[in-house]
Structure 1
Amino acid sequence: MLPQKFDIVATTLPGLEPLLRRELLHEGLFIAREGVRSFTVIGNKEILYRLNLKSRFALRFLVPVLSFRATHPDELYKKVRRFEWEKFFGTDDTFAIDSVVNSDIFRNSRFITYRCKDGIVDRFARDFGKRPDVDTENPVCRIHLHIRDEFVNISLDSSGSSLHLRGYREQSHPAPLNEVLAAGLVAMSGYTGHVPLVDGMCGSGTLAIEAAMMASQTAPGLVRKNYGFMSWSDFDQKLYSGILGDLKNAVAPPTHPIKAIDRNGAFVRMAQQHAATAGVADFIQFERNDFLRFEPELPEGILLLNPPYGNRLDDDTEELYAAIGARLKHHYAGWKAWIISANPEAMHQIGLKPMKKHKLKNGALDCEYRGYELFAGKRADKVRSNAQ
């Protein structure tokens, strides 16, 4: 189905582009093109399988199969219908189309998605007398349609569902954190497993689990059972099993402790279950405790916090953030703390000057991720000491 070498497009969340770029380069890949929240590399099936299993910062890996220019929906329909879709799936298979349209020519993205679908099914009906069905939930072949101005790019989605769905989060939490975003937050903090780490408000445990997987060299895709490429006609089970086995053998216990705390006992139990499913339960110390009363046991480390965002101008939320700031200042000297929030007014109540800021998105929410270097005494004294 696919040639020996082909383009692979890696996509990610806004703000995580530098992390994905570094990850791809670390895999020894040449970045042929950079797009909006995407990078194109040249690879083969072995690389495609490995990337889906190993990547911490990618949402999907797409394989482009058709590119052209079109200025009218009927022109798009005809060019889609001429393509040999039977090389990728058959009349008894199902497919779905995900579309991203940014064009003054094609303003109705739903209509243009339908025209793309019509082009595919009409080809099968004409040449084989039968149409494949659409299944938006669990298709055999997921197709990605991207249109910018008059340029149309159609790709096969090798990942299937988004790679943030690692497969370990089995229970629902009222404020879940996207796993790819969580991995990005861990990496942006500078954490590599070289120091202790505390997730001070762990919720369902996503930050601590992603940190444990990172520190133990656990590939994030080891738990997940299904990828889009598994339904392709040229799926190589032996190749995939070999890569999977190598990644499992690479896991090693972290060298420094990871602790996850939450004042809600039900959340702690949920996080423990998720860590067990992820295969990292032995690498994380879970504890029911209130961060505002928790005392760090070691003189240095990295603290991650994803506190409730609340509502802007909410007195209770601002009081919580002020208490967090006081706790950091008086109990975490020697540590580095990182906090993500969508509430800038509450973040101001932290009362400490951040060393770094990152603009991110948590779902539809605009967030800021701030890093603080904590020390005893006044900041001015610390700055003078470093300058000497």
Structure 2
Amino acid sequence: MAERLLLFATTARGTEDLLAAELKDLGAKRIRQDRGGVRFLASLDEALQVCLWSRIAMRVLYPLGEFDAPGAEGLYEAAASVPWEEHLTTHHTFAVDATLKDTTHAHSGFVALKVKDAIVDRLREKLGARPDVNTRDPDVSVVAHLVRDKLSLSLDLCGDPLHRRGYRVRPTAAPLKETLAAAILRAANYTGEEAVVDPMCGSGTLLIEAGLIARRRAPGIARSFAVERWPGMGPRARELLADMRADARRNERKVEVPLLGFDKSDEALEAASRNVKAAKLFEEIRLSEGDATHPLPVPEGGGLLVTNPPYGDRLGSGGQKGMKTFYFKLGESLRSLQGWRLWVLSGNPAFESAFHLRPIARRDLWNGPIECELLGYRAQGPQWAMEREESRPHANPTRNSGPRPARSETTLGPAHEPSDVAPMRPQHEGEEDA
């Protein structure tokens, strides 16, 4: 039996269960949810499948250990105790990326520097020379995560975070991260078999992620991974990934469902057009000018309408009246759709009451630093009925203690929860890098 690696995949807060379900689909074993990610066991080929195919994970980490590391000297001693000579040679470059939480250290750069110094000194002692640091494109990426005085050290199999698919050549203001868009689609039970409409498509991320699903295209098909350059696993990883990429390309399919995006901003449509072209989905996705507060030309027969409307002035009073009016008009416009499932990522506490439609599903998510709600509805002409989808209770350990509007429902949409997923003590936070 192939040796299995104990790995940790990070994800946006609120999507841990979605990632756990995806990892099970990809062959991972002993899956355990954690705050900000999921732990799992996988052989090298299964781990590479996760790197290539995960739509939701941000990073895939190979943990090296967790250490008590009080003060600057504690950081150095903890990092120096790791057998780096098993993971690095003098001919390979490396870089250290550090994140902090509730520590006495003010700067992540200082923590990264102490870990770097320890790695260099140990390798100089063990190998007689030191490897070079390359912060732009290292062969080996070391991830240091410090919570109070607990230091976790890992190697990143991916290098660049997995949300960097390579198609975002023209972002708009506050773009939705690709991995979060994919998580929203999974929460909405989208499988690529129905039409998708985004009436406020912005730079097109939700549509492009839907197109990748409908096309059955691996999200990591156009990129390389750091593990391919690792001294030990690199040669085998390159061989396996070459076969996986070829197999993924052979199994892509033609998209048979409409994928439509609308926006009233010419700048947004231009950005979306360029991104769609970069994603090689320009034949599958159609973009048009349109105002979501007015009826839009959507296909008959229904499908999935998914969108991330503007949040506006979330908590202040100055712009809230205008945003409430906008949300009300949006609800009036979308009310007339026949047979459509509607999922909205709302980052404004005023949205739900102003939208004045009763959600049948909800989920707390974080769009970067912004706490949001993903709300599900079903349109049936002028009437909105509850959708009978498989659903389950959902614990939200990442909710803050701030005021929120009263809730009418507490159910969720997805029915993908694996039976062997269980919570685990937190260690890593989800990453929010741009």
Give the equivalent residue in structure 1 for 2:296. 294
Give the equivalent residue in structure 1 for 2:372. 367
Q: Is the 8 A contact 1:339 1:370 kept in 2?
A: yes
Unaligned stretches of 5+ in structure 2?
387-434
Give the equivalent residue in structure 2 for 1:281. 282
Say yes or no: does 1:328 pair with 2:334: yes
CA distance in 2, matches of 1:299, 1:174: 33
Bigger share in helix: 1
Give the equivalent residue in structure 1 for 2:134. 135
- Secondary structure (helix, strand or coil) at the match of 2:380 reads coil
- Secondary structure (helix, strand or coil) at the match of 1:374 reads strand
Q: Is the 8 A contact 1:335 1:373 kept in 2?
A: yes
Q: Is the 8 A contact 2:85 2:126 kept in 1?
A: no
Say yes or no: does 1:245 pair with 2:246: yes
Say yes or no: does 1:309 pair with 2:307: no
Structure 1 residue 30: Cα displacement: 1.1
CA distance in 2, matches of 1:352, 1:123: 61
- Secondary structure (helix, strand or coil) at the match of 1:124 reads helix
Structure 1 residue 86: Cα displacement: 2.8
- Secondary structure (helix, strand or coil) at the match of 2:355 reads coil
Say yes or no: does 1:355 pair with 2:360: yes
Say yes or no: does 1:254 pair with 2:255: yes
Residue type at the aligned position of 1:135: N
* Higher normalized contact order (CA 8 Å, seq sep 6+, divided by chain length): 2
CA distance in 2, matches of 1:33, 1:153: 18
Instruction: List aligned pairs for 1:106-125, cutoff 5 A.
Output: 107=105, 110=108, 111-125=110-124
1:149-200 alpha-carbon deviations (Å, 9 max, x no partner): 5544311001111111111111131221100011111121222123211011
CA distance in 2, matches of 1:345, 1:65: 45
Label 1:345 to 1:33 Cα distance change in 2 as closer, same or farther (>3 A). Answer: closer
Structure 1 residue 108: Cα displacement: 5.0
Q: Is the 8 A contact 1:222 1:244 kept in 2?
A: yes
CA distance in 1, matches of 2:383, 2:53: 43
Structure 1 residue 364: Cα displacement: 1.3
Give the equivalent residue in structure 2 for 1:229. 227
Structure 1 residue 23: Cα displacement: 0.7
1:276-332 alpha-carbon deviations (Å, 9 max, x no partner): 222322222222222324132313111112122111442332222111010011x21
Give the equivalent residue in structure 2 for 1:41. 40
The normalised TM-score by structure 2 is 0.80
The normalised TM-score by structure 1 is 0.89
- Secondary structure (helix, strand or coil) at the match of 2:341 reads strand
CA distance in 1, matches of 2:273, 2:17: 31
Structure 1 residue 249: Cα displacement: 1.2
Structure 1 residue 115: Cα displacement: 2.5
